[in-house]
Structure 1
Amino acid sequence: MSSSPAPPMTVPEGAEKCTIAAGCFWGVEHMYRKQFGNKGLYDARVGYIGGDSSNPSYRAVCSGRTGHAEALQVLYDPKQVNYRTLLEFFYQMHDPTTANSQGPDVGSQYRSAIFYHDSEQEKIARNITSKVNQEWWKGKVVTEVLPAGQWWDAEAYHQLYLDKNPAGYECPSHFIRRFAPLSE
């Protein structure tokens, strides 16, 4: 497998970013592409964020010593889908109640986190996290809400991994949970 970096993402005019970590990034990317592929998603990239090492490799992140999380960065059209909807989906598609793990994947690289890009995103992320903690997950949410620092694209072979490898590994905790709509 090649360890070359993925080509950079082209950012269309007016596009916004949503950066989240919800365990193994292959399944997270696959689920977001499936859910929002024709509903405002321009692109989704897997990569690393939240740590203290520069240009980390997958192997280094998997060691748990970089501080980085496996994450997804979604580039979306806010005229077609809003940040709140992307975060509500985030809380439906993974288990935000387990610290540093998703299913059998254990380590800080598999933590649940929202990395906001501006004060408006921070406000929405904290509000949604509070609501889902009260209404859906009954006080058990451990998701971190943090400023987005430096993003590092994962190696090219990780991008669209489950599209290229349909029988590849998917974390068993990645599935859609059904909840009543959140209060406004």
Structure 2
Amino acid sequence: MAAMPSFFARLARPFSTSMRLAPEGGAQNYPANAQKATIAAGCFWGVEHMYRKQFAGQGLLDAKVGYIGGDTKNPSYRSVCSGRTGHAEALQVIFDPDKVSYRQLLEFFYKMHDPTTADRQGPDWGSQYRSAIFFHDAEQETIAKDVTEKANKQWYKGKIATEVIPAGEWYDAETYHQLYLDKNPGGYECPSHFLRKFPPLE
């Protein structure tokens, strides 16, 4: 779909009164070594779609879209779209570190969106569309900062505006947002979501 002006892009997205899943979702039967990665890179429909396509069968155990980074309890999609909750549209990936590393997931993150535009991806603007890595422990923080520093130097020439911050409370997005582009192949996709052809980070 061609890019729409940001105002109309936001209006064109469906709102729903569907109930959200509970924060952190339900219990899942993940392997004991499963780890969690949480990132924000603009409209979460396209972010989820690209991660599932890239890592299906290669260590991705599950992925869900939701809200993180703000101070509003139990936010709805409509409230997050207002830009007043502090939350970002985000993706949370559950992965098998024996098959794909956290570093690989973050290198892909820096290839699949534009991390140089603060609070904006393509025609979508506002803090809910910011670029951010939400780390879950000290090891993830170290890796996130290292990958960010290298990508900033080697790929983006010092222009990265991505936040690297501790993960706060996560809220699953409403059910109809999960796997949205699989269910709606003609749905809106942010034009900044495509895989950039960068050389490997050194």
Shorter-chain TM-score range: over 0.9
Distance 1:108 1:166 in 2: 26
Which TM-score applies when normalising by structure 2? Answer: 0.89
Cα displacement string for residues 71-101 of structure 1 (whole angstroms, at most 9, x for unaligned residues): 0000000000000000000000000000000
Which TM-score applies when normalising by structure 1? Answer: 0.97
Aligned to 2:21: 6
Distance 2:114 2:88 in 1: 15
**8 Å CA contact 1:23, 1:112 repeated in 2:** yes
Distance 1:79 1:52 in 2: 34
Residue of 121, 138, 145 corresponding to 1:126: 145
**8 Å CA contact 1:2, 1:156 repeated in 2:** no
Question: What's the secondary structure of 2:147's corresponding residue?
Answer: helix
Distance 1:58 1:121 in 2: 28
Change beyond 3 A, Cα 1:20–1:11: farther
Instruction: Give, in angstroms, the shift of residue 3 of structure 1.
Output: 1.9
| 1:41-120 correspondence runs (5 A) | 41-120=60-139
| Structure 1 segments of 4+ aligned residues over 4 angstroms from their partners | none
Question: What's the secondary structure of 2:153's corresponding residue?
Answer: helix
Gaps spanning 5+ residues in structure 2: where? 1-15
**8 Å CA contact 1:15, 1:75 repeated in 2:** yes
Distance 2:96 2:174 in 1: 25
| 1:25-44 correspondence runs (5 A) | 25-44=44-63
Distance 2:20 2:103 in 1: 30
Percent identical pairs in the alignment equals 70
Question: What's the secondary structure of 1:29's corresponding residue?
Answer: helix
Aligned to 2:162: 143
